[in-house]
Amino acid sequence: MILLACDLDNTLIRSHPQVGDVPVEYYGGKVITSMSARALELIANLDDRVVLVPATSRSIEQYRRVNISHERAPLYAVVSGGGVILRDNKIDEEWDVYRKSVIDAVQGEFERLFRVLQDDVRVEKVKIIDDSFIFAKSASAQGVIDDLEYGEAFSVLRHNEKIYVLPQGIDKGTAITEVASRLDADCIIAAGDSDLDVPLLNEADYALAPSRELAAKIAAKSAERTKSPCVLIKPETADFSAFIMKFAADKAAYDVTLGNALFRCNVTGAA
């Protein structure tokens, strides 16, 4: 069985629609995000051997607004940056016990970092997402991070103006390994577009990235590990979401033909 773990924003879905896109999220009566019709078609026709697991830093509420499958919600989803696993769209209680144990171990420092960001005049917005991590937004995000004092119990990541403060042990990669274990997955394909996705991509057998820059970061992190993913970069003109789904479909078909043999791996595109 193939576990296909996909980030949502700027990976499967996009906030700037292109011609022919299909709306997949509404908020306040307006279309917020869309997806290519081709990618949606490929999702609808995924082989039964492929299990799609969204993996996002969105909150539970934000995730539930997105509809990438008109038949039913995915069996599993990793949300809140890995702090929450949803099963049948409900919070998985076993993983929630784990999340609470991680937060409890760093509660004092977690609250201190939140207050520091709250008091920083450069920070426009700061909030705690589903009791899992701290999210902040600032036009001076890098400066805020440079001035933030935190220990090894936390990782701090930036994506444009957004700042993410995550306790060690809460990330998409840790959560997806739990899901993979439950599903008894033979292979993990993961796709993402930012630094937040690197832990997820490094747990994969095949890591799909939209750029050489992100591929280099995956390679740098995987060099510290015993397991290294096969990193594939989408062709420059390809739609990322359709590229992901086509790769998963081809991998499933290839397994049937050749008995779970590995694809040839390179860093310029799929085999």
Domain ranges of the chain: 2-93+170-258, 97-167
- Model pLDDT, residue 17: 87
User: Percent of the chain having pLDDT more than 90?
Assistant: 74
Average pLDDT of the chain is: 90
pLDDT of residue 73: 78
Q: Are 102 and 95 in contact (CB under 8 A)?
A: no
pTM of the entire predicted model: 0.90
The most confident of the ranges 12-16, 71-75, 115-119, 222-226 is 115-119
Q: Mean per-residue pLDDT for 163-183?
A: 97
CATH 3.40.50.1000 fits domain 2-93+170-258: yes
Least confident of 33-47, 62-76, 119-133: 62-76
Q: Can you read off the two tokens belonging to residue 171?
A: 């990330």
The CATH number corresponding to 97-167 among 3.30.1360, 3.30.420, 1.20.1250, 1.10.3470 equals: 3.30.1360
**Are 2-93+170-258 and 97-167 in the same CATH fold?**
no
Q: Is pLDDT at 122 greater than 70 in this prediction? A: yes
Quote the pLDDT of residue 222: 65
Sign of CA dihedral 74, 134, 95, 3: positive
Question: What is the full DSSP assignment across 3-71?
Answer: EEEE-TBTTTBBSS--TT-EEEEEETTEEEEEE-HHHHHHHHT--TTEEEEEB-SS-HHHHHTB-S-SS
Task: Calculate mean pLDDT across residues 18-29.
Answer: 93
Distance CA 191, CA 12 (A): 9
Mind listing the pLDDT tens digit for each residue in 180-222?
Answer: 999 999 999 999 999 999 999 999 999 999 998 898 888 777 6
